[in-house]
Amino acid sequence: MPLWVAFRGNFSNHNRYDRARQVAVEGNLQGISLGEAVERINKLPVMQNLPPGVVQQPSGSAKIMQDIFGRFGGALGLALMCIYAILVLLYNNFLHPLSIMAALPFCLGGALVALMLAQKPLGLYALIGIVLLLGIVTKNSILLVDYTIINIQSGKTQRQALVESGVSRLRPILMTSLATIAGILPLALGIGAGSEVRQPMGIAIMGGFTTSTLLTLVVVPVIFSYIDNFQNWIKDRLRYGFGKKPSRS
């Protein structure tokens, strides 16, 4: 589909920005997202070889979009660091929080797939929904891992603890997940005045929460078993040394 832009440029040399002559070209987009429009403009031959002294500088909505995507990585990294620090303080352990955070990549993939299927842009509201997902998704993993640790401390084997935690925590995980999805459904469907602007956030949250809930029940116990085995191996090596094999009853 061609990009139709209505030019409203002011090519007077009296307009300046940062003490440099400025030529502003604005356009109204129809049937195309802002990101796709910027990408097509940057691929134009005239934009590939700009004359000396001529630079391209986005403004308006294009500049806001550039700033948002540029700072999203920092916000995402800060959110992950805060989650990990809180879990370390909660469990007094540096390895078990990794098994809890293993569900986070699944929510990101689910959010992106949901936006792609709904043909919604990855804009500001969708990014807010993805950051929001990081805090919500860890709840299911905490329920599984916390109950598993309690079972192990009570004297059960690792396999028994994982199976019992999965069976006993299945109902609360499904109930809270279905309640969250049902609550975000009106936003994802775009019901209400002005909801089409916030609709990508609801779609991202619903898609990411759905995939993370389904995969958390399978992936988190497996990763927990590997991390717990590695932690026990480190403890045995520190206690018995690397040259001796500990005897287990």
Q: Looking at the domain assignment, is residue 107 inside a domain?
A: yes
- Are residues 233 and 169 both part of a single domain? yes
Polymer length in residues for the chain: 249
Q: What CATH number does residue 235 fall under? A: 1.20.1640.10
Enumerate residues 6+ apart whose C-beta is below 8 A from 18. Answer: none
- Summarize the confidence of residues 184-203 as an average pLDDT: 83
Tokens 């199976």 — which residue?
Answer: 163
Buried-exposed string 224-245: b where 16+ CB fall within 10 A, e elsewhere: bbebbeeeeeeeeeeeeeeeee
- Structural domain including 113 reads 62-240
The reply to whether 71 and 163 lie within a common domain is yes
Specify the pLDDT at position 4: 42
232 lies in some domain? yes
Residue 110 lies in a domain: yes
* Whole-structure pTM value: 0.73
Residue 248 located in a structural domain: no
Q: Which of 129, 153, 133 is nearest to 228 (CA)?
A: 153
246 three-state secondary structure: coil
| Interval 8-52: pLDDT, tens | 444 445 677 777 777 776 667 766 777 777 777 778 777 777 778
**Are residues 195 and 230 located together in one domain of the fold?**
yes
φ/ψ of 32, rounded to 5, equals -155, 145
